[in-house]
Structure 1
Amino acid sequence: MTVRVLVVDDHPLYREGLVTVLATLPDSEVVGEADNGEQAVRLAHELAPDVVLMDLHMPVLNGVDATRAITAADPGVAVLVLTMLDGDESVFAALRAGARGYLLKGADRAEIARALESVSQGQVVFSAGIAPRVLAYFSGGGSVTATPFPDLTDREREVLDLVARGLTNAEIARRLFVSDKTVRNHVSNVFAKLQVAGRAEAVARARDAGLGA
């Protein structure tokens, strides 16, 4: 059976290379390409691929939100994440959104081919470095929820979630019943701990981890 694949990645050179690799596989066919999550959702609806090969960190709509929208609209479409992000927050956010597999960029041709075939048949696939963490989670009965950004305090995580929802510092201050200065301090601490340059990058990281939904 030929697996029909929609390739989603915002880096043109990487996406083109991936399409070239997939073209060499005897049992796969690239039916479309997207460079952001919003386009991926639209093309998944229009093209009805077997598998969406999904990056996570993208403009317009991130890969986690795009995965959630695609799987909600058509559970028969398998989303296979292919990303550089290997943190627990990204892995579990993608799984909660409905992804059936999670590969890290750097996976070779054979690994990608096996993963495409597996997820198209309803199986679940993880890169070697990801699998032990997922197995540990489920062996514990799924009772321990992976906490996004464990270096943040609970209040800092709450502030980041509100930032990712699009609230201004003043709106966050009113929501949390604290001063604007307190919120600015929290936001500065969050940026430092996440090592991001500004609000837009922090929002992208937060949404990749499932915050701000």
Structure 2
Amino acid sequence: MKDKTRIVLADDHPIVLTGLRNLIESEADFTVVGEATSGPEALRIIREARPDIAIVDISMPGMSGIVLTRRLTEEAPGIKILMLTLHEDRAYLRQALDVGARGYVVKRSAAANLVSAVRSVIAGGTYIDPAIVNRVLNRSPAGNRVSIRETRDLTDRETEVLKLSSLGLTNKEISHRIGVSVKSIETFKSRGLAKLEIQSRADLLRYASQVGWLSDI
């Protein structure tokens, strides 16, 4: 029998914690192994419980989720961090990615997206809330949904595919959006990642932030 995914929850609102716990434990393969209402308490519990993933609010008393994530990334890189927050502006998202968060979910869509986000992060992916992704895509000018930016020796198509991938779109979704086959998307992505020497989705997301692909978030 497969072990359950062990999760710690950290939010300074007890009502939110209760809702999160009910949502998480409605999944047969998830279990909550600790809860915290402040940054220092979250750090202590995560150190003791050694969960697979911690779901952390950005704004907590005593220590922000950003500082907490930075410390955990340095101390225990095997523990994945998923940010849950009210903030939808790019500054918070960039900070979260820069300190090592593997997921970013806004609270207003947690009921619909949190479980999927946890599964994506546990599987080794990086998750950005679709509401934020849609803001980026909807702001792009008509006829050029994704701004193309030359990056090293990437072709325009490789850049376009990698940018959409960094925003969380699947190969199938990218295929529909730009009108080429899924097989071609896989080829463009593979070539682009090889040129950039990027090995993981998390590295791609950090790179996207550094070169400005997420600047419209």
Q: TM-score range by the shorter chain?
A: 0.5 to 0.7
| Residue equivalent to 2:40 | 38
For residues 77-134 of structure 1, give each alpha carbon's deviation from its aligned partner in whole angstroms, at most 9, with x where no partner exists. Answer: 0101111111111000011111000001022445211111111121101111223658
Q: Which runs of 5+ in 2 are unaligned?
A: 137-162, 168-204
* SS of corresponding position for 2:58: coil
Does residue 143 (structure 1) correspond to residue 211 (structure 2)? The answer is: yes
Which of 88, 94, 97 is the matching residue for 1:86? 88
Give the conservation status (yes or no) of the 8 Å contact 1:3–1:117.
no
Give the conservation status (yes or no) of the 8 Å contact 1:37–1:59.
yes
Q: Which runs of 5+ in 1 are unaligned?
A: 148-213
Q: Which AA in structure 1 matches 2:77? A: P
Query: What pairs up with 1:1-213 in 2 under 5 angstroms?
Result: 1=2, 2-131=4-133, 133=136, 135=166, 142-144=210-212
* SS of corresponding position for 2:120: helix
Instruction: Name whichever of 67-76 and 136-145 sits farther off.
Output: 136-145
TM-score by length of 2: 0.61
Give the conservation status (yes or no) of the 8 Å contact 1:89–1:146.
no
Q: Which AA in structure 1 matches 2:63? A: L
Once residues 81 and 119 of structure 2 are traced to their aligned partners in structure 1, the CA distance between those partners, rounded to angstroms, is 12
Once residues 6 and 107 of structure 2 are traced to their aligned partners in structure 1, the CA distance between those partners, rounded to angstroms, is 20
Once residues 61 and 16 of structure 2 are traced to their aligned partners in structure 1, the CA distance between those partners, rounded to angstroms, is 16
Once residues 75 and 101 of structure 1 are traced to their aligned partners in structure 2, the CA distance between those partners, rounded to angstroms, is 14
TM-score by length of 1: 0.62
Please give the root-mean-square deviation of Cα atoms over the aligned residues, in Å: 2.5
**CA deviation after TM superposition for structure 1 residue 46, in Å:** 0.6
Give the conservation status (yes or no) of the 8 Å contact 1:57–1:63.
yes
Instruction: Name whichever of 73-82 and 123-132 sits farther off.
Output: 123-132
Give the conservation status (yes or no) of the 8 Å contact 1:55–1:81.
yes
For residues 32-76 of structure 1, give each alpha carbon's deviation from its aligned partner in whole angstroms, at most 9, with x where no partner exists. Answer: 001111111111111000010010011100010001111111111
